[in-house]
Amino acid sequence: MRHVTRLLALATAVPPYSLDQEAVVERVKRLFGHSAMLDRLLPVFVNSGIQRRYSSVPLDWYDEPHGWADRNRRYIAGALDMLETAAGRVLDRAGLSAAELGGIVTVSTTGIATPSLDALLIERMRLPRNLARLPIFGLGCAGGVIGLARAAEMARAMPGKTVLCLVVELCTLSFRRGDHAKSNIVATALFGDGAAAALLRCGDGDDGPAIIATGEHTWPNSLDIMGWDVADDGLRAVFSRDIPRLMEAELEPIVDEFLVRHALRLDDIDRFVCHPGGPKVLDAFEQVFGLRPEALDEARGVLRDYGNMSAASILFVLERTLARSRAEGRPWGRALLTALGPGFTAGFALLGEE
């Protein structure tokens, strides 16, 4: 009998400081002063679809300059706090103890930790010393989907063992008060901090959506579309304004190819769980998949309440989609998870009932 890898439980966490979007706009005006560039870009804040976000540091922290070392210390401290919270919640929801874990996958792109975050968390939470560890860096917004895929592969390689998949991003630490570049202003309008934890296991008798298939596609000649530049005062956001156009022009055949490999078509998908990178990104997903606006209500709700948390966002959307499925009392059916990140890469995961 073929064993099935299932998502046993999912949990999320955010840092303590809530940033109201209107308060952020006022702080940005004060920090940058009057400029033609800022005046042109301020509508990005209003049109972002975001009401609030969460930050690992209070709003007044951004009033002073901070170098790379300070930002990275804040990253490690904030990431560990959120990961500990999310991991504790997901174990409680699954009714499992840490001693039952066999592997851990940790995904993050907004800071550097060596020893990696998973090693630091093993020490902090007294997790099993024989855990198989897989830290993943550099996937950006695609990291939630691809990290889940790697965790599913690990679970299949150790049937009966539970794998903990952790995703954490502290995007707000990339704000650079002396940088008037468009990419910095747009990032300031969109980014928030958050973490998510998922438990997966390959075996019999478990409940939860099955991880039916995973995949990814990296476009040629696309390395400059999204990523980070490393500067003395932190990470500088790089993203192209052409991302929605690229999605509308080229994403559909890539998704079709992924689904055909598993004898499926878009019409066979019941739920779409899309990364809420921004309003234009969600509009592009609607066009590519031929969706009504309400089909992405959960994604727009996560964007409204948390901003773009990079890799963590898709798991926040998945958590809301699972909750909606339970509330409606409808079968889960098949759900397609889709996110895009540096590379330029699209990540896919197909969840269903098996």
Just list the catalytic residues.
141
Find out whether 108 and 168 touch, Cβ atoms under 8 Å.
Answer: yes
Find out whether 269 and 335 touch, Cβ atoms under 8 Å.
Answer: yes
**Radius of gyration of the chain from Cα atoms?**
20
Q: Which amino acid is at 79?
A: A
Q: What angle do CA 321, 125, 149 make, to 5 degrees?
A: 40
User: Which residues, other chains included, contact 327 with Cβ-Cβ below 8 Å and sequence gap of 6+?
Assistant: none
Q: Cβ atoms within 10 A of the Cβ of 191, count?
A: 23
Nearest to 312 by CA among 82, 101, 130, 27: 82
Rounded Cα distance between 9 and 13, Å, is 14
Q: Which residues of 126-149 are buried (b: 16+ CB within 10 A; e: fewer)?
A: ebeeebbbbbbbebbbbbbbbbbb
Half-sphere exposure of 217 (CA within 13 A, CB side): 16
Find out whether 212 and 351 touch, Cβ atoms under 8 Å.
Answer: yes
Nearest to 76 by CA among 19, 34, 35, 121: 121
Q: Which amino acid is at 180?
A: H
Q: Which two tokens stand for residue 223?
A: 């390395």
